[in-house]
Amino acid sequence: MAKAILLALLKVLMIIIFAGWIALWLLKPTNLWTRKWKGAEDSARHTVFGYYGLNFAVFTFPPIAVTIIGLVYLDLVTKEPPRSRPARSATVGFSNPVVVNSFVGILSSLEILAVFLFFLFLAWTYYARISNDFKKLMPVKSLKLDLWQIKYLRVATRFGLLAEVCLALLLLPVLRGLAIFQLIGIQFEASVRYHILLGTSMIFFSTIHGASTLFIWGVSRHIQDEIWRWQKKGRIYLAGEIALVTGLVIWITSLPQIRRRRFEIFYYTHHLYIVFLIFFLFHAGDRHFYMVFSGVFLFGLDKLLRILQSRPQSCILSARIYLIPSKAIELTLPKDPGLKYTPTSVIYMKIPSISKFQWHPFSITSSSNIDDHTMSVVVKCNEGWTSSLYDMIQAELDSDTGAMNCIPVSIEGPYGPASLDFLRHDSLLLIAGGAGITPFLSIIKEIASINSSRVLPHKRWLFRQKTRPQKRRLPLQLLIYFS
């Protein structure tokens, strides 16, 4: 009872802080906010906050507070495994899939509503800002511009503000250990699409911002003077140009055509985010950096915790090779008996003998309720990193000793859902193809580990396996029914 009350209080506290933070963002573009906040900044100038410190406290603290409280909340939720099937919530229908598309993935009505409200907020922010700008246009001292050029320059500037808003949220969906998206039931592999959406929107707005500014400099014949300027005060134009080019490189190498075929290029160029953030700070200044500081801080803290967790190395205990219908390896890894995880959890694995920098995610196929000292993953071996792993394991198994030598491996995770959501359903229909079967193996083992048959849902698994006609070894469809 006390635990339920504590969970309810933490949830209410998170809702209040988050609602207050959203209210601040909605009020920020208004004239009322400008007048009131200007006075508050002047009052705080001689306090411990300083002139800009109040902005950091108001806009940066809420996301960090929600993340910390959410971490405690999720830890309390996962303390004890459910002993009975939880009651069906009245809001479950809103989380059911509404859109299933290869381009956007699987979206529920709540996710569609959230995306719509976010873009509505961007439209409101842009309209409020640009309408105020047009009412009090001031000529640029260093540039002799016509009226339409001044207006277009303001339009370009405000697109830069929209890019800042996207950047403020960009890093939150890719947090792993501090995954705040789990609070609303969205797992890491699903939240990555919001990172992609925010990143694409940010690059779109930034490109309009930068290209339009260069266009105005060009038509006013000042582009040679402005493009290389590194001002001591105000916005540094050259830093903004470097940040835009860096962002474009990161975005282009993240396209599916490159990411899937040349993962190493995608992986290493993505680390240019450090260069991007540094030059963004130089371009926007500390006056605007407080908008994105919370995301950068949480991402840095999450990264540090992941490095500390994955620093100790262990060895692969055993391995098995499967050749039908495609090359795959099952790896057995050691784990602490006290480590518990939920089905469909994911670990990130690095094998330094293959690459000292690359981390690859794999679904855990075992259940922590059955295997206390080990956990297993299945790796489908295609090319690149997985092909090197296959060759290494095969060489070890074919050696004269008949036993595997210690292959050092670093593990990060596991990351997974906070609760067993699949137990809320009366019937299960699990459909997987290829390597997508691996998360379902952990679900099967988890259900098998539950003692009371009364909490088991009715189960059906449908596995579809495609093979080339000339190398057909298994039926094209395999239906397995468990009653």
| Element containing residue 240 per DSSP (H, E) | helix 237-252
Please check the confidence at residue 435 and state whether its pLDDT lies above 80. no
How high is the pLDDT of residue 89? Answer: 55
Q: Is 294:63 a contact under the CB 8 Å cutoff?
A: yes
Structure tokens belonging to residue 253: 């190498």
Contacts of 460 (CB under 8 A, 6+ apart): 427, 428, 429, 430, 481, 482
Q: Is 370:322 a contact under the CB 8 Å cutoff?
A: no
**How would residue 48 be classed by pLDDT, with cut points 50, 70 and 90?**
low
Kindly report, as residue ranges, where domains of CATH 2.40.30.10 are found in the chain: 313-482
Closest CA to 166 of 210, 189, 197: 197
Structure tokens belonging to residue 100: 């299933």
**How would residue 479 be classed by pLDDT, with cut points 50, 70 and 90?**
very low
Please check the confidence at residue 425 and state whether its pLDDT lies above 70. no
Q: Could you name the CATH architecture of 313-482?
A: Beta Barrel (2.40)
Q: Give the model confidence (pLDDT) of 73-121 as tens digits.
A: 887 876 555 545 555 555 555 667 777 776 667 777 888 888 899 999 9
Strands of the 408-415 sheet, one edge to the other: 313-315, 408-415, 346-350, 360-363
Closest CA to 164 of 126, 212, 211: 126
Structure tokens belonging to residue 305: 């915790």
Q: Give the model confidence (pLDDT) of 153-191 as tens digits.
A: 889 889 999 999 999 999 999 888 887 787 777 777 778
How high is the pLDDT of residue 482? Answer: 38
Torsion of CA 450, 462, 94, 21, to 10 degrees: 70
How high is the pLDDT of residue 300? Answer: 92
